[in-house]
Structures are given as C-alpha cells and as structure tokens.
A and B are shown apart, each in its own frame.
Chain A
C-alpha cells in the first residue's frame, strides 16, 4: 500500500516548455486534488476531482489543465510554463469528508 505517489520529484523547465505531473493513489479514494505551495503561503487548490470522470477548478486554475484518467490517477499539465509557476506541487486524495492523504510533492522550477 504505497498511498499517494507523485512523479517526478524534481523538475526544471524553461519558460514556454510543457510538462505533466503524475499522481496515483491506491487507497480506492473517490476525490483527488492538486495544490501548489509557495513560500510563506498556505496551500492553494489548483483543481480537484470529486469522482472519476469529473474535474473542477479550484482557487488558482489558470495555466493548468488536469485529467482524471481513472479512479487511481489524476494528472496536472502545464501547457506553457511560466516563472510564476515555480512552486511545490502536492497531490492529495480522500474518501469523502475525511482526512486528506498527501503525496511527497514535486518541486518545480521554471527559468
């Protein structure tokens, strides 16, 4: 039981490049989330998926797209990376109105 896994752990991009962050959970959770964490700030929700086949925007969705590939996997795509997207990205999952379980994070730098 690996919990929530994220790949890659680190990534450096040049402005304008694209990439996809991968997230998977093996806890049979319905809901999955993508957050970003910037220094001195709380986590901010980018997108979430309440169930397989549905996705909704969170607080800061601009510049991102997501795909809920199946119940296990929820990916986050940056189509044209910008320096403002330099951040640590966390994926999380939950069964319902219960505690969220987090992945180890992806540290992204955009030059």
Chain B
C-alpha cells in the first residue's frame, strides 16, 4: 500500500531564505507527483506536477524534483517571502488515477 510522508510537519524560517520541503513515498510505481499549496480555510492550489518520466519541474521561485528509485521528492523555494506561508502538500498518483496524500508541511515565513 502506497504511503506518503512529509517531514517536517512544520517549519519556520526568516524571510529571504532558500528552503527545501521533503516528500517520500513507499511505492515507486507512480504516474506522477504533485505539490499543492493550501491556505488556511481554503482549498488546494496545484503548484507543480512532475510526470513519472521527468526529474524536475520549475515555476518561478519554485522547483520540484523527483527521484522515483529512492521514493523522494523535494520542493525548493527560493528567496522565501511572507506570502509563501501556507501548508504544502505532496500527492502521488497511482495506477488507478487516485492521489495518495502526505499530511503536509506547515510553512511560516517570518518577516
């Protein structure tokens, strides 16, 4: 059974720092991996989607990598800003087109 783990559960850093969020999964047979952002009391917004054949995706200050063989993905945020404060979730899509989710990392960027 696929399990997705995100460590740490919470992270607080000063504004301007570069940071890395981690996501690990137990079964490498995935179609893709997605990173989402969730703001308090709101829905989820897709940030990046990495297909299983890809190694990384970039969008602005965000870069996500995927290493299927080791069951790991990282989300790199450059030059963090207070507006980046949110919960970040990763999810892997299995062969049944279902997403299996991590519990998220709550990120706080201190001004």
Contact = CB atoms under 8 A, between A and B. Distances in A.
Chains A and B bind each other: yes
Q: Is the interface of A mostly helix, strand, loop or mixed?
A: loop
Interface in B24-71: 31-32, 34, 36, 41-46, 49
Contact of A100 (B99, B100, B104): B99
A74 interface: no
A50 B97 CA distance: 9
Instruction: Sort chain B's interface into a size bin.
Output: 20 to 34
Interface of B: 4, 9, 31-32, 34, 36, 41-46, 49, 89, 91, 93, 97-104
Given A42-B89, A90-B44, 11 more contacts: A42-B100, A43-B89, A43-B101, A58-B98, A92-B44, A97-B32, A98-B49, A99-B34, A100-B34, A102-B44, A103-B43
Interface of A: 4, 31, 33, 40-45, 48, 50, 58, 90, 92, 97-105
8 contacts: A33-B99, A41-B103, A45-B99, A50-B97, A97-B32, A98-B49, A100-B99, A104-B43
